[in-house]
Amino acid sequence: MLIKRPSDVRSSEITDKKLYLNRRDFIRASAVALAAGGAGLLGAEALVQAKGAPHGRKLTGIKKGVIAAPGEKINSWEDITSYNNYYEFGQDKDDPARTSGKFKTEPWTVTVEGECNKKGVMNLEDVLKGETLEERVYRHRCVEAWSMVIPWVGFPLANFIKKCDPTSKAKFVEFTTIADGRQMPGLSSPILDWPYREGLRMDEALHPLTILVVGLYDEVLPPQDGAPLRLAVPWKYGFKHIKSIVKVKFVEKQPINTWQEQNSAWYGFYSNVNPTVNPVRWTQATERRIGEFFMRKTLMFNGYGDQVASMYSGMDLRKNY
């Protein structure tokens, strides 16, 4: 190999300073272009961050502070409407916010079936008729070990159940989410057995903490959070809080919920928040509150034990998870 000695370099070969500076600019520009190209490689898995839902219609006549969460910092509208698990709209957390923009929630009907005297199809207006909307700030604990504090607006599910007039055979309530392939791109992935179904035992469904939600932060619920009608059961993992409900069925036998059907070793029927039972591959003992760095200890029944624990007395919660 020939090594050039310094004397071999003629002055004409020394790069002009102006060109040298241009070369630097060129490298800088190339670096930027390459970085952009590299970022482009992120492709389908790119975190194209969805912004929160735009602010929509205000709800009026809300009874404020019916249930508060003292000492808890409420998560922002942006957090609650941009970080969602709603697989019908896609599996990434930002998918629902990006793909549910044109979801039609009007007109909306709820079909009432099974062991009850008032079977039929109800318009959403009839579901809401006579109800006083209440603000309830609930802790929301996802089975994925993150949590939020959410100012829901809704009314007790018990009120709706009374309207349906269930018979003595009604031991459980089964709920079904809409499955409209034209509006919900996630339905094309057969990862769950659509439509999404969830269930509650009658005493759980009638519990005063269990609510049907129609709003958030005094506004109409955005689609990515389950508009126009969803469930909130704050002592249970988030996946029990079924969204965009189109059917309510009263049944005698314990129904099978979608996640239980998908993986019964991980997900049970009850799915009460329980830091001591870990059927999933990650731990349920701690959780990260969205917006915080340090994790918190997860509370039994998500901190609602005083109100709900008596419903499960005598039950082995290690088996009935």
Q: Which residues bind other proteins (CB under 8 A)?
A: 30-31, 34-39, 41-42, 45, 47, 49, 75, 78-79, 82-83, 87, 91, 93-94, 144, 146, 189, 191-192, 262-263, 281-283, 286, 288, 290-291, 293-295
173, 250 contact by CB (below 8 A): yes
Whose Cβ is closer to other proteins: residue 6's or residue 38's? Answer: 38
Min. distance of Cβ 178 from other proteins in angstroms? 19
127, 118 contact by CB (below 8 A): no
Whose Cβ is closer to other proteins: residue 4's or residue 57's? Answer: 4
Q: What contacts 24+ positions apart, CB below 8 Å, involve 306-309?
A: 307/207, 307/208, 307/209, 307/235, 308/204, 308/207, 308/209, 308/235, 308/272
109, 180 contact by CB (below 8 A): no
Residue that has been written with the tokens 């602010």 in this structure: 55
Can you give the length of the chain in residues?
321
Whose Cβ is closer to other proteins: residue 50's or residue 127's? Answer: 50
Min. distance of Cβ 318 from other proteins in angstroms? 18
DSSP-assigned letters across all residues of 158-223: HHHHHHH-B-TT--EEEEEE---TTT-GGGGSTTS-SSPEEEEEHHHHHSTT-EEEEEETTEEPPG
Alpha-carbon Rg for the chain in angstroms: 26
Q: N- to C-terminal Cα distance for the chain?
A: 73
Whose Cβ is closer to other proteins: residue 20's or residue 282's? Answer: 282
Min. distance of Cβ 83 from other proteins in angstroms? 4
Distance CA 213, CA 135 (A): 10
Whose Cβ is closer to other proteins: residue 9's or residue 39's? Answer: 39
Whose Cβ is closer to other proteins: residue 34's or residue 315's? Answer: 34
Min. distance of Cβ 87 from other proteins in angstroms? 7
Min. distance of Cβ 182 from other proteins in angstroms? 21
Whose Cβ is closer to other proteins: residue 131's or residue 144's? Answer: 144
Min. distance of Cβ 179 from other proteins in angstroms? 16
Min. distance of Cβ 21 from other proteins in angstroms? 18
Residue that has been written with the tokens 């005297």 in this structure: 117
